[in-house]
Structure 1
Amino acid sequence: MSEEDSLITLVDENGNETLYEILFTFESDDYGKSYILLIPAGTQPEEQVDVLAFSFDPDENGEANDAELHDIESYEEWDMVEGVLDTFLNDENMQ
């Protein structure tokens, strides 16, 4: 994934655009979905930020480029995503 491919622009309900960097993507066999986790572009490694998480429809190459993002709707799904994020943040080999 190139630097340009690792960025996504989200538009809020007021039409404001914010650039985000793709932290990582993963698939869940349990939910049959692909997920994407985003952080604000330009975030420094030591900086604390909120991580945004969505499910998405991958393109023909399995990537999140121009993908349609979907809100995560159930508590069980959120728990699974948080577990994957915790594993990512605590495993130096994954970063």
Structure 2
Amino acid sequence: MSQEEMDFNQEEELLTLYDEEGNEVLYRKMLEFHHPEFEKDYVILAEEGNFSNDDEEIELIPMINVADEDGEGGKFLPVETDDEWDMIEEVVNTQMDDPEE
């Protein structure tokens, strides 16, 4: 599957989600894409408080984006298969490795 056949959205936005204890956590959406082979939409998130100006690596959190019936909102599900993890790693490395100068 070539990267050209996939639809990418690299427009960043902030999302408020809830952790296991019910606390609000602010995340930045780093990348969103649809993968036709898996027939799923994926979103790559990073916790907003983890951004800094030095060269520390940012922990990326990939999720499956499942829209509700009217196409608005929905929910995020965890990535579960090794094939999906491998594909996401390749996409992230390809789409996000070129730092913007």
Name the TM-score, length of structure 1 as normaliser: 0.76
Amino acid paired to 2:62 = A
Aligned residues: 89
**CA distance in 2 between partners of 1:67 and 1:37 (Å):** 15
Highest CA radius of gyration, 1 or 2?
A: 2
- Give structure 1 stretches of 5+ with no counterpart: none
1:28 counterpart residue number: 35
Could you tell me how far 1:52 is from its partner in structure 2?
0.4
Unaligned runs of 5+ in 2: 1-8
Higher share in strand: 2
Q: Distance in 2 between matches of 1:48 and 1:92?
A: 13
Root-mean-square deviation over aligned CA pairs: 2.9
| Counterpart secondary structure, 1:48 | coil
The sequence identity of aligned pairs, in percent, is 30
Aligned position for 1:15: 22
